[in-house]
Structure 1
Amino acid sequence: MSASRFTWRTLVALAGLSALAVGAQPQGAPAGTSPSDPASPTAPATTPITPAPTPPGQPAAPAATPPSAAPAAPAAPAADPASPPAPPAAAASDPTSPRKPAVENSALDATLLYQLLIAEMELRQGDAGTAYQVMLDAARRTRSEQLFRRTTEIALRARAGEQALAAVVAWRNAIPQSQDALRFQVQLLVALNRVAEAEEPLRALLAGLSDVTRPAAIDGLPALVSRRTDTAAQRAAAAALIERLVAPYLEAPVARTSARVAAARAWLAAGEPAKALALVERASVDEPGAEAPALVALDLLPGQPAAEAIVTRHLAANPANTGMRLLYTRTLAASQRIGDARAQVELLTRSDPDLPQPWLTLGALEIELRHPDAAIKALQTYVRLVESGAVVAAPARQSDDDDDEPPSRARTLTPALLMLAQAAELKSDFAGAEAWLARVDPAQGGMELQTRRASLLARQGKVGAARELIRNIPETRAEDARAKVMAEVQLLRDQKLWSDAEQVLAAAGQRFPNDIDMLYEQAMMAEKLARVDEMERLLRRVIELKPDHHHAYNALGYSLAERRVRLPEARDLIRKALELSPGEPFITDSLGWVEFRLGNRDEALRLLRGAYQSRPDPEIGAHLGEVLWSVGQSEEAKRVWREARARDASNDVLRETLARLGVDL
């Protein structure tokens, strides 16, 4: 192209834009660009590279060649998923987060001015290739950070990752001390899935930071390096890379905790929880008040029981850390340690009674424990606090599906209102339950609102109407059809309509073949219908499809123990389940029960006491009571049975136990 196409006024305007490239630039406003700049990511560069013209009366500019070989100019942007877009704005803890460019004195001469004009004009004409070559040559001649940055941006906006990387390598060669060049190089290597090559620039980047800023950069390493780790081998390589990068800082007082936590997160992601545990244990000893080791420890539970001591150590040093205690409570509840979870959340309701969230959690736990009156009291406290304007505190770490929008009051109240209805239903207060449901915003209640109404109908003998209500729920999401099947099965299970539930599951199996949850439920229904061979076949199929399904191992082992057959195999199956989910009370109960069947009463008593303390469930209470009864501790056995009956007098295992032993409470 020729500059003669443009008027003098245009050249003057472009000269002003080009001068920005070698003078001071405002952060976030690259030189020579505007919102309508055709170099933006949506404006393709389609012109093949052509030699840049030489200014009249000037010698030809030196060829734009990097130290090794000249990179090809950016071609037209193609639909190449491996080509990285411009690096996104990084978080403060991202070691590659760009800093505000330093102001440089202008080195503008006639040759440079002409080159910059040509580059910007070619860019506006859609020829990113020529613009890239000319700008890169200008950057090399002037050793200007701004021009190298501009060259990199041109390549990135053309989605030419390799050319962007070549520009950054030239940038580093010209200005070895440039932190921005290091950041760009790391981001590009990660985006191009060349993580192994990022080790040297990352090492240099960390070494160039101050003691104050380095810990935050180390904190960001796992997220940065794991962006393109899709396989186990890639995750292991990323963990090894991070371990090497943080090695120089493991004994540095300011950075050692960040270094160990970063390595721990990487090894946990790579499926090496034992390595992760060793790292956070040391970090916790070095700095007991640090939150980061405790957060990793929560992720290690329940698979690494020793990690719990890290959490409790942190809470002892920081008793006012509400978010951490709530997360710990949820972790305990997820492991079915409901009693332990309740003890933790009660500490919060006593220390900060005006905080709503602990009351909601306490209410949910009381329902699990079948304490409807206590649940109603806790949930009504939550509702009162929310309606008075109290802010619902977020935990220290939010789930992935949390958004940035604050929840509406209707959304905030919905879980409490649904649980209040459930608590009223436990008391057979059906009118009260319906009154709570009437307060739920239908837009917020969704499917759960309808399933709670269906449960009320079934409890009042209207099972047909309840099933019809569930089946008529609109399916607004892909997963709703499956959820409706599971809701109907749960309703039929609650009513002990085993055959009907099995028929629903069998029909759904045609639509959802090899659905693990449905196969498991079908196995449970087969057991209720005394079809034990079918139950065993289905459970083994679940284990085949999902080898870490601890419930399937436990159910199969417990069934064998209950029938007094193949007891050594039953114990092995249950131990496998406990290995997959350490400390789970229901699995511990099964192990205690098989030990009792094997004649190991002392071991059975130890296991069952621990299970009942963590989860005072009526079925666990029935087993504990029977073992106590067998060793002559009849009064304690009766006390446990009375507690269990107070929670659920209709529990089948409890009723069968009392009837078989002829016990009158």
Structure 2
Amino acid sequence: MALALALGACTTAPLRPQAAPTPQPMERLTVATPDADHDLVAQLMAGEMALGRTDLVAASAHYDKAMALSSDPAVAERAAELAIAVHRDEAAGRALDRWQALGAKPAPIARARAELALDQGNAAEAKRQLERLIASGDKDAWRQFGRVLLGARDQAQAARLLEALAVPARLPADPKAWLAMSELGDKLGRKAYAREIAAAAVKRFHDAETYAWAAQMKFKDGDHDGAKALLRKALDQAPSNTRLRLAYAGMLSASGDDAAASQLLAHGTQDADTYALRAGLAARHEDAKALATLYRQLQQASPEVRAQSSYLLGQLAEMQHRDAEALAWYDQVDEDDPHAFEAAVRSALILHTQGKREQAHQLLAQLEIDYLEQPEQLRQALQAEAELYLREQDYAKAEAAFSRALQVVPDDPGLLYGRGLAYAQAGQIDLAVKDFQHLLKIKPGDVDASNALGYTLADANRDLVEAEKLLQVARAAKPDDPAIADSWGWLQYRLGHLEQAEQTLRGAWLARKDADVGVHLAEVLWKQGRHHDAQKVFDEVRKLDPHSLTLRDALKRLLPAGAHP
């Protein structure tokens, strides 16, 4: 009965339509997505991406569109700068107008309009805008003025505007502005203007900076005494100014008075730069005492100065044959230091001298990897490795290293010279001659190349007439050079002129105790029948270089197997 009642109720109930589901608020929202040309964010992003890949033309086009969609004056300013930079004059004018309408400040807009006028060659408009710029009262007005002229395509036009506008009556009461205009005139080739403004600045301000700049101008003009007098005045006003002391010392040194320069630098505050210049002056005069004093002083300097001078400390330690200390200093050179590469190369050379050949070659191999993308450093690392192999008399590896370096810097004279030596020492005379001849084509008359080729031919006992011509050129250029004298003496021996050979080689041997020179002299003496005298020289050579290949080869030629003098 209950089931029946339920069914009945269903059949008699009135029918009602079912209500539709209520939509959610977000379902009613329609988002209008602008196309890229009308999307400010998209244009700004595209412009910045173009700048990132240095595509200024594309960046300018994107900022041109962004400017029209934005009320931000900074966007219009960027659009104007880019359009001027890529010479889109119409777009630049449009951007400048938009920027001004959005409230550009007087100085920046005048500067930009002057840039555009100069780019268009409109000197009158450029002058009008530059006058507005310097009259704006902006604290950076004169700096912006200089920037406009320095960046102008027509530097002669810029120079004329400089002379017309940056006159003493208009320049502000700021010595830096005067010096900046004088320096700008110097850069633009207006030397008389630059000198005039510098002299006027000295009369008006009488401060250290104006004295220093006027001194530099006088020094350029050849008035060294006048320049030194002005720098002396500058130092009287700012005795603790290290930069002025360095400038004055540099001027004294350039005038040939290194002693006065050193004395000036030795007094007063010391920093990494003063120590470096003092060391350079002492090294120029091979003043071992001064170098030792500098080394002691630097070791006692502040931690900051020592850190900045690690490379210099290493050099000073090397000069005093303190190799262990030099290695320690070089190891402290920061990897961001401009001398980091040189410090590593010097370390490799010291390690090799200490007999740590494997470590030396490993260090240079690592440098070759680290500086793979820097051709000059890569060349130096390969050349250093090659020269170490030359010391080791491993001529095949030396030649291979020189050849790799020549792939990096083809036709480099130093590398060709080194590889030629490696070939010659290895007995590959044709290849050595080829390298030396190629070097002489690159540097006709080069003394070292002439000597190397002349000696190589003489040593191989071939083309002696050509060898004589080459060595005569070398002797004329360096008549007192012991290496060239050795080559000439050896040539005379090959020509059979034993007395002349002995006389020349003995002079070279007395001038420099070199193992090869000694072997040559001893061989000439032996051929003269003076075996006792030859033996004395051979003994001296053994003390100098017990592993001399030249000595070994000479004894093979001169003595029966198993015998020795």
The one-letter code matched in structure 1 to 2:362 is Q
Residues paired across the two proteins, number: 423
CA distance in 2, matches of 1:570, 1:314: 43
CA distance in 2, matches of 1:559, 1:292: 44
Contact 2:345–2:384 (CA<8 Å) still a contact in 1? no
Structure 1 counterpart SS, 2:229: coil
CA distance in 1, matches of 2:281, 2:527: 37
Deviation for aligned residue 1:475: 6.5
Determine which of 231, 254, 261 is the counterpart of 2:229. 254
Taking the TM superposition and a 5 Å limit, the aligned residue runs for 1:517-532 are 517-528=414-425, 530-532=427-429
Deviation for aligned residue 1:491: 6.6
Paired residue for 1:216? 212
Structure 2 counterpart SS, 1:175: coil
CA distance in 1, matches of 2:166, 2:438: 57
Pair 1:559-2:459 in alignment? no
Using a 3 Å threshold, how does the CA distance of structure 1 residues 503 and 181 change in structure 2: closer, same or farther?
A: closer
Deviation for aligned residue 1:650: 1.0
Using a 3 Å threshold, how does the CA distance of structure 1 residues 173 and 379 change in structure 2: closer, same or farther?
A: closer
CA deviation string 1:546-597 (max 9, x = no partner): 3475432221122244356236414323236649xxx766456545656787
Contact 1:44–1:126 (CA<8 Å) still a contact in 2? no
Paired residue for 2:549? 652
Determine which of 253, 262, 280 is the counterpart of 1:327. 280
Pair 1:171-2:156 in alignment? no
Contact 1:135–1:147 (CA<8 Å) still a contact in 2? no
Structure 2 counterpart SS, 1:649: coil
CA deviation string 1:453-500 (max 9, x = no partner): xxxxxxxxxxxxxxxx89995774243776686577557655655467
Taking the TM superposition and a 5 Å limit, the aligned residue runs for 1:585-600 are 586-587=483-484, 589-590=486-487, 599=500
Using a 3 Å threshold, how does the CA distance of structure 1 residues 153 and 38 change in structure 2: closer, same or farther?
A: farther
Paired residue for 1:349? 292
Percent identity over the alignment is 20
Pair 1:609-2:510 in alignment? yes
Determine which of 523, 538, 543 is the counterpart of 2:435. 538
Contact 1:119–1:135 (CA<8 Å) still a contact in 2? no
The one-letter code matched in structure 2 to 1:171 is L
The one-letter code matched in structure 1 to 2:448 is H
Structure 1 counterpart SS, 2:547: coil
Query: Unaligned stretches of 5+ in structure 1?
Result: 1-36, 47-74, 81-114, 223-241, 259-289, 298-306, 333-340, 367-374, 393-401, 438-447, 453-468
The one-letter code matched in structure 1 to 2:105 is E
CA distance in 2, matches of 1:120, 1:577: 68
The one-letter code matched in structure 2 to 1:78 is A
Paired residue for 2:47? none
Using a 3 Å threshold, how does the CA distance of structure 1 residues 158 and 651 change in structure 2: closer, same or farther?
A: closer
Paired residue for 2:250? 292
Query: Unaligned stretches of 5+ in structure 2?
Result: 1-71, 88-99, 118-124, 234-247, 268-273, 300-310
The one-letter code matched in structure 2 to 1:120 is K
TM-score if structure 1 supplies the norm length? 0.46
Contact 2:382–2:401 (CA<8 Å) still a contact in 1? yes
Using a 3 Å threshold, how does the CA distance of structure 1 residues 362 and 124 change in structure 2: closer, same or farther?
A: closer
Deviation for aligned residue 1:246: 3.5
CA deviation string 1:615-657 (max 9, x = no partner): x543345456678999999999877755543342112224445
CA distance in 2, matches of 1:630, 1:218: 70
CA distance in 2, matches of 1:381, 1:508: 31
Contact 1:520–1:538 (CA<8 Å) still a contact in 2? yes
Deviation for aligned residue 1:255: 5.3
CA deviation string 1:219-242 (max 9, x = no partner): 6459xxxxxxxxxxxxxxxxxxx7
The one-letter code matched in structure 2 to 1:169 is E
Taking the TM superposition and a 5 Å limit, the aligned residue runs for 1:371-450 are 378-382=322-326, 418-419=348-349, 421-425=351-355, 437=359, 450=362
CA distance in 2, matches of 1:472, 1:252: 46
Using a 3 Å threshold, how does the CA distance of structure 1 residues 119 and 575 change in structure 2: closer, same or farther?
A: farther
Taking the TM superposition and a 5 Å limit, the aligned residue runs for 1:217-232 are 217=213, 220-221=216-217
Deviation for aligned residue 1:404: 8.5
Using a 3 Å threshold, how does the CA distance of structure 1 residues 183 and 547 change in structure 2: closer, same or farther?
A: farther
Structure 2 counterpart SS, 1:650: coil
CA distance in 1, matches of 2:337, 2:314: 20
Structure with the bigger percentage of helix: 2
CA distance in 2, matches of 1:418, 1:502: 19
Using a 3 Å threshold, how does the CA distance of structure 1 residues 186 and 160 change in structure 2: closer, same or farther?
A: farther
The one-letter code matched in structure 1 to 2:113 is A
Deviation for aligned residue 1:201: 1.0
Cα root mean square deviation, aligned: 6.1
Pair 1:78-2:81 in alignment? no
Structure 2 counterpart SS, 1:559: helix
Contact 1:558–1:590 (CA<8 Å) still a contact in 2? yes
CA distance in 2, matches of 1:590, 1:648: 20
CA distance in 2, matches of 1:156, 1:633: 80
Deviation for aligned residue 1:417: 5.7
Between 1:353-362 and 1:648-657, the stretch displaced more is 353-362
Contact 1:118–1:134 (CA<8 Å) still a contact in 2? no
Deviation for aligned residue 1:169: 2.7
Paired residue for 2:469? 569
Paired residue for 1:201? 193
CA distance in 1, matches of 2:151, 2:293: 59
The one-letter code matched in structure 2 to 1:380 is A
Contact 2:323–2:350 (CA<8 Å) still a contact in 1? yes
CA deviation string 1:142-200 (max 9, x = no partner): 79897973772684598677676555333345728877676454444555xx42xx121
Paired residue for 1:477? 373
Contact 2:522–2:534 (CA<8 Å) still a contact in 1? yes
Paired residue for 2:237? none
Greater RCO, 1 or 2 (C-alpha within 8 Å, sep 6+): 1
Using a 3 Å threshold, how does the CA distance of structure 1 residues 416 and 483 change in structure 2: closer, same or farther?
A: closer
Using a 3 Å threshold, how does the CA distance of structure 1 residues 169 and 592 change in structure 2: closer, same or farther?
A: same
Structure 1 counterpart SS, 2:84: coil
The one-letter code matched in structure 1 to 2:451 is N
CA distance in 2, matches of 1:413, 1:252: 37
Using a 3 Å threshold, how does the CA distance of structure 1 residues 478 and 42 change in structure 2: closer, same or farther?
A: farther
Larger Rg: 2
CA distance in 2, matches of 1:531, 1:143: 76
Using a 3 Å threshold, how does the CA distance of structure 1 residues 362 and 517 change in structure 2: closer, same or farther?
A: same
The one-letter code matched in structure 1 to 2:229 is V
CA distance in 1, matches of 2:530, 2:266: 39
Using a 3 Å threshold, how does the CA distance of structure 1 residues 361 and 609 change in structure 2: closer, same or farther?
A: farther
Contact 2:110–2:132 (CA<8 Å) still a contact in 1? no
Using a 3 Å threshold, how does the CA distance of structure 1 residues 166 and 362 change in structure 2: closer, same or farther?
A: closer
Contact 1:502–1:525 (CA<8 Å) still a contact in 2? yes
Using a 3 Å threshold, how does the CA distance of structure 1 residues 645 and 546 change in structure 2: closer, same or farther?
A: same
